[in-house]
Structure 1
């Protein structure tokens, strides 16, 4: 099973009302077709209510744990919200300094 699908399945255990998983690997150095190394996650869940940002990230790391190991996911950008925080948030990613030049 591909890493992106595994990541989605693991994050679904946090009962999101919204989940976006974006493979951003093509914007980073060393990219080749099919590479799965850099991801961005936007997740909205009531599970995060009353949790500080670091605690929200810890919940996500606990859910995806072993996928963040050498040879798997190298980088994971996390945007974790409860529903009333999510509206209007900018979750765009910056350009990577080592991105392939076109």
Structure 2
């Protein structure tokens, strides 16, 4: 399931034209956590894009969340974001 989810994440973030994109599944670190019940996943996204230039960290995160909002809280329970410019 997480391979499909990672593919969806990659497709949704493609519009940001990332120069760097890492999608790290951290679900195994949260086994037993209430948010992991029902198969919800935890991901860390490391993304660098020219589209982040001039934006605050909060605005960068919003650009990412705007593309992911319907996947939260299920099938993604938690999303950690590291967003930088290129």
* 2:76 is equivalent to residue 76 of structure 1: no
Say how many residue pairs are matched: 80
**Larger helix fraction of residues:** 2
What is the Cα deviation at residue 11 of structure 1?
Answer: 1.0
CA contact (8 A) 1:13 1:63 kept: no
C-alpha distance in structure 2 between counterparts of 1:36 and 1:47, whole Å: 29
Judging by fraction of residues, say which structure has more strand.
2
Q: CA deviation at 1:51?
A: 0.3
> What is the CA distance between 1:16 and its match in structure 2?
0.2
Q: CA deviation at 1:36?
A: 5.4
Equivalent residue number for residue 30 of structure 1? 32
Larger radius of gyration: 1
Match in the other structure for 1:12: 14
After TM superposition, the score normalised by the length of structure 2 is 0.83
